[in-house]
Structure 1
Amino acid sequence: MANDWKEYLTLRELGVRSRSAPPPDYIDVHWWPPDLNWMKVNTDGSALGAPGRIFAGDVFRDHQAEVRGCFHVKGGSGFALEEELLAVIKAIAIAESRGWRKLWLESDSTYVVELLRKKLMEVPWRFLTSWKATIAFLNNFELRVSHIYREGNAAADIMAHNSRHEGW
């Protein structure tokens, strides 16, 4: 039962016993700043369709939660996984170019988090060269990788969605 009043009345008139749906589980979602001397980057991707135009956005913040940089990029056409990969590849390239060697990367894609943690090469072929370079960069980093729910990743989500509004 969907806990809808009309549905309840209909079922009652038909003599059907009903049970209410259990309440949803709630999870507290928090964004935490990184430790001193660490940089944290939240990454996100956005797609219009499947396949569709893909967009990525990242937000870099220091231990005081001050924004140290952000970007958004259009990535052509692709699928949801590709948008998330694009965001991570760009984030690590930027961190590497700026000399941020203690990096905490947070993504709302559990698959991308596992790819990074295990340094797996199971990515779409068109990203394979960039992904291999990204994994090679990680040898120069102290890296933390974590998953964050979409609700805690709002800043990166906004950056990814901003790419949509700049015309194609």
Structure 2
Amino acid sequence: MTFTVLSEKIEKCLIEQMNETAKHKNLKKNLYTEWDSKMKLSFPNLIIPPLFGKGSQDVVINPRLNVKWEPPEQGWYKINFDGASAGNPSPSGIGCIVRDSKGKCLKEIAENIGVETNNEVEFRAAYQSLQLGTDLGWRNIHLEGDSLNVINAIQNKQTPSWHLNRWLRPILALLERLDDF
């Protein structure tokens, strides 16, 4: 499974959750059918982030980072994880993809997880990704994600908010089972 297919699965999960929420709030049926329309509804002033942001007086253009996936070293597995929440809190989804040193997709997860906060979603995605790797018996895992809160919490062994400790403690326990990460 490619990263694009995984992203599409996560989007589909989020759209299903948003439609379910809309149904319970008596909103228009299938209001959220495309990612862009959903984002525009949630953030009416959004202009293709992260390229543009309001500065003190002018629009500031923030350059996009040129990011490219790199395979892990021979004998290692790379798990890329992400969480997405349409609001804070709101319907959410998580996903991960596991690849070997040749870039071959070995396993993936895409899952609706109900209503969560944006930070809890990222921590849960990291936890479930590590759980997947350790359940398969892997001890050389490179964990990669885009959440600085998760990365900093793992490195510093503390979270920015006490309620996230329910995810950090099991993440750290799983990391103890690895040879390195």
Scaled by the length of structure 2, what TM-score is found? 0.61
Distance change (3 Å), C-alpha of 1:118 and 1:52: same
The Cα RMSD (Å) is 2.2
Task: Check the 8 A contact 1:47/1:79 in 2, yes or no.
Answer: yes
SS at match of 1:37: coil
Tell me how far 1:29 sits from its aligned partner: 1.1
SS at match of 1:49: coil
What are the within-5 Å matches in structure 2 for residues 51-130 of structure 1?
51-123=89-161, 125=163, 128-130=165-167
Scaled by the length of structure 1, what TM-score is found? 0.66
CA distance, structure 2, for counterparts of residue 82 and residue 118 of structure 1? 17
Q: Does 2:88 correspond to 1:50?
A: yes
User: May I ask how many residue pairs the two structures share in their alignment?
Assistant: 124
Tell me how far 1:132 sits from its aligned partner: 1.4
Q: Which residue of 1 is the match for residue 178 of structure 2?
A: 141
Task: Check the 8 A contact 2:158/2:165 in 1, yes or no.
Answer: no
CA distance, structure 1, for counterparts of residue 108 and residue 122 of structure 2? 16
> What residue ranges of structure 1 are gaps of 5+ in the alignment?
1-19, 145-168
Percent identity for Structure 1 against Structure 2: 23
CA distance, structure 1, for counterparts of residue 89 and residue 59 of structure 2? 35
- CA displacement 1:47-74 (0-9 Å, x = unmatched): 1222101210000000000001001222
> What residue ranges of structure 2 are gaps of 5+ in the alignment?
1-57
Would you tell me which structure has more strand in proportion to its own residues? Answer: 1
CA distance, structure 1, for counterparts of residue 142 and residue 151 of structure 2? 11
- CA displacement 1:136-158 (0-9 Å, x = unmatched): 121111343xxxxxxxxxxxxxx
